[in-house]
Amino acid sequence: MANFYRQCNLRNGNSHTTSWLPEEYAVKGKVLKLKKDDESWEDGWIVESAGDKIDEKCLPDFHREIKAHKKRTGDSLPKCPKPS
């Protein structure tokens, strides 16, 4: 069975973010909890809009894309120490 995701715009007070959500959570007006960088959960995120659904296999892999970009541009090379 395929899993589908939708890119959603979310709001929590004055904060806004965009995230890929599983289709069952990507419902306009639905209130969600999102995991923060410190692994804690923040409640109160409201789905403001949801885009077209895509198969999970087609989701962008941002980690891989950033790593490939750094490799192509030389950003992944060790940095020279700053002169003292």
* Tens digits of pLDDT across the chain (84 residues): 679 999 999 999 999 999 999 999 999 999 999 998 899 999 999 999 999 999 988 887 777 777 777 778 877 666 667 666
**Cβ pair 66, 72 in contact under 8 A:** no
Does residue 26 lie within any of the structural domains? yes
Give a yes or no: residue 81 inside a domain.
no
pTM: 0.68
Domain that holds residue 29: 4-73
Q: Which of 37, 29, 32, 8 is nearest to 20 (CA)?
A: 8
- Cα separation values, 2 from 5, 43, 60, Å: 10, 28, 16
The number of distinct structural domains making up the chain is 1
Q: Which amino acid belongs to residue 76?
A: S
